[in-house]
Amino acid sequence: DVVLGLESSCDETAAALLRADGTILAEAVLSQLEDHTPYGGVVPEIAARAHLAHLPGLVRRVMGEAGVGPGDLAAVAATAGPGLIGGLIVGATLGKGIALAAGVPYLGINHLEGHALTPRLPGVFAGGLQFPYLLMLLSGGHCQCVKVEGVGRHVRLGTTLDDAVGEAFDKSAKLMGLPWPGGPHLERLAASGDPTRFVLPRPLLGRPGCDFSFSGLKTAVANIVAKGVDEQGRADLAAGFQAAVAATLADRAAHALAMVPDATALVVAGGVAANQGIRAALTAVAGRAGLPLVAPPIRLCTDNAVMIAWAGIERLRAGLTEALDHAPRPRWPLSDLSVTPV
């Protein structure tokens, strides 16, 4: 019994095969980065066409690598939202087609729940991660604090009032003249900078709750760049920016942990979780609360299909599957999922 996972909600085309116990049999991710780079961001129409061109081939490839045929499948899980509707339709329709042909259930997975449940994948956290835990989802499109209580049972405790944290990295990096997507470039530049030279605002620091705001930080970066900065100045600015973001996230995480006194761990996911400065800051916050910081390996933090197959396995176990008329949803908050009874 093997579950096929498909991901096509943004600019990664991905397929994966997992055994029901969570063993990864095969996985493949195709980034569309080069298709979108000339435009400085993801172009929805280009993304949809690229998913259509590549997803069927990726499915054949993982099935070939794993030596798995349609008769071995127990279910097919595809991202059904939130995301760009063209890509979602490609993945969900292919997933339904394969499920129908193989005579197995179809699972329409919420992409955010994929990120939320991945740290429970066997091997990510010694002994297995137990509910409830606090998830900080830090990516290019999302910036949320979520209490993960169970399959389909998620409470959003806070979110960004303006930009997502990855978006803030990308916009600030662009102002510093770095290529898109700027997050990793900014981190590299920050390594040779002095974080104390430019002290940037720490938005919402100390405020109750765990909402985020990053647009003021971006404006501060823009104002400094406008006055002119030399090479060392850019590195100092990058370091100052990263320090401000890390301090803000740490403060928000501490507030969120106080709202979830029964949390078993602080979990970080999303592409920004790759940032070592941010990880260090969050490790310290978790440590002060006597909790571990759990972060899936980077390849499972960014968009991938292993997380979709795994969320599918968790939902299948809970008896939650979708009918073939289940429609993809470009907007689909975590609070709106079918859930396991308590």
- Binding-site members for substrate are 137-141, 170, 183, 187, 275
The one of ligand ATP, Fe ion, Mg ion, none whose footprint includes residue 169, by CB under 5 to 8 A per kind, is: ligand ATP
Q: CB atoms < 10 A from the CB of 276, how many?
A: 12
- Our CB check for ligand ATP shows the closer of 303 and 314 to be 303
| Site for Mg ion, residues 8 to 37, rule: CB under 5 A | 10-11
Is the four-CA dihedral 164, 173, 271, 6 of positive or negative sign? positive
The one of ligand ATP, Mg ion, Fe ion, none whose footprint includes residue 304, by CB under 5 to 8 A per kind, is: none
- Cα separation, 235 vs 224, in Å, equals 12
- Our CB check for Mg ion shows the closer of 33 and 324 to be 33
How is residue 165 written in tokens? Answer: 């944290």
Q: Are 136 and 324 in contact (CB under 8 A)?
A: no
Q: Which of 163, 167, 303, 322 binds Mg ion (CB under 5 A)?
A: 303
Q: Which stretch binds Mg ion (CB under 5 A): 54-62, 108-116, 123-131, 300-308?
A: 300-308
**DSSP-derived 3-state class of residue 138:** strand
- Our CB check for ligand ATP shows the closer of 248 and 321 to be 248
Q: Are 100 and 282 in contact (CB under 8 A)?
A: no
Note the residues at the interface with ligand ATP (CB under 6 A): 10, 139-142, 166, 169-170, 181-184, 187, 270-272, 274-275, 302-303
- Cα separation, 333 vs 209, in Å, equals 19
Rounded to a whole number of angstroms, the CA Rg of the chain reads 20
Task: List the binding residues for Fe cation.
Answer: 111, 115, 303
**DSSP-derived 3-state class of residue 14:** strand
- Our CB check for Fe ion shows the closer of 113 and 303 to be 303
Cα 277 → chain centroid: 18
167 part of the interface to Mg ion, by CB under 5 A: no
- The residues of the shown chain that bind Mg ion, judged by CB under 5 A, are 10-11, 303
- The residues of the shown chain that bind Fe ion, judged by CB under 5 A, are 139, 303
